[in-house]
Amino acid sequence: MELNASSLPADLTALFQRVSRRYRGCGRFAYHYVALKLRRDPVHRAVLMLAAKEAFDDVLDIGCGAGRTTVGLHELGYTVVAGDIVETLIEQARTRFPQLDFRVMDARALNVETASFDAALFSYNGIDVLYPETSRLACLREIRRVLKPGGTFVFSSHNFCGAMFSGGFFYLRGYLNAGRFIAQQLTNRVAREWYMRYDDGGGTQYLFSAPPARTVRQLHDCGFDVIEVCGDKGERAPRRLLLRQHHVHFVARARA
């Protein structure tokens, strides 16, 4: 699969712009965030590219929040079922997009039928909140169960080294980031399990942040073939990915 933005068909570019415009009324942050994600996030691009090339129908949008990704998929003509564990988010999503199918759903026990989807999406590192790691594996197995053989799963995840050096490996900011990140882990009891502590605007969070190779292994163990691993701007060189990319995107196929 080619994830190069320049090879996007023109009608998808128009779609990105249309979806982004919807978010103008939600404030500058939401508008720019969505615009950037839809244009540059390889996860979204991958799904949209597959749509253009393979014309599959049924997509499961896991951890859909208030429906940001769901509405984009719907506008492309997919049949989307979207689920989130937080009831209030699902209520908001239903109010905003009453024509779409939103359900309260736990990613570790998906209340949908076996082999019923062509693709699944767990966007914006949502899978990293699942703790402990056995919970993450349970989620991967569930996604494998609900996908048809050969179905596609796309998602992103935090990258341990990239979290330290994403500010730049050869620049002062890189070392400042690394220092701050290490300081945050000093009191983190679950760092050994690859759950890193992040203190940011959302408060303290513990998120799975391992080297990408660990996620690749998990995918293999849970019945997937990995077909793409890339960074936020589409990089694929393992060294650049490992050291510089805070988030890594995975595209995997359910083994037949």
Ligand X SMILES: C[S@@+](CC[C@H](N)C(=O)[O-])C[C@H]1O[C@@H](n2cnc3c(N)ncnc32)[C@H](O)[C@@H]1O
**Shortest spacing between CB 83 and ligand X, in angstroms:** 6
Beta pairing, strands 58-62 & 79-84:
parallel
User: Closest CB to ligand X among 1 and 89?
Assistant: 89
* Residues of the shown chain interacting with ligand X in the complex, contacts defined by CB under 6 A: 62-65, 68-69, 84-86, 89, 105-108, 123-126, 129-130
Q: Name beta bridge partners: 121.
A: 61, 154
Nearest Cα neighbor of 119 from 215, 66, 54 is: 54
Residue 149 CB, nearest approach to ligand X (Å):
24
Please, which residue, 140 or 169, has the CB nearer to ligand X?
140
Q: Is the CB of 104 or the CB of 226 nearer to ligand X?
A: 104
CA distance 214 to 224: 14
Return left, alpha or beta for 234; rule: phi > 0 is left, psi -120 to 50 is alpha, else beta.
left
Q: What share of the chain is helix, strand, coil (3-state, %, to 5)?
A: 45, 25, 25
* Least distance from ligand X to the Cβ atom of residue 123, Å: 4
CA–CA separation, 46 and 76 (whole Å):
13
Cβ atoms of 248 and 212 within 8 Å: the answer is yes
Cβ-closest position to ligand X: 63
Nearest to 59 by CA among 112, 8, 10: 112
User: CB 200 → ligand X: shortest distance, Å?
Assistant: 13
Please, which residue, 105 or 161, has the CB nearer to ligand X? 105
Considering the complex, what minimum distance in angstroms separates the CB of residue 16 from ligand X? 15
How far is 82 from 87, CA to CA, in rounded Å?
12
Residue (80 or 107) nearer to ligand X, CB? 107
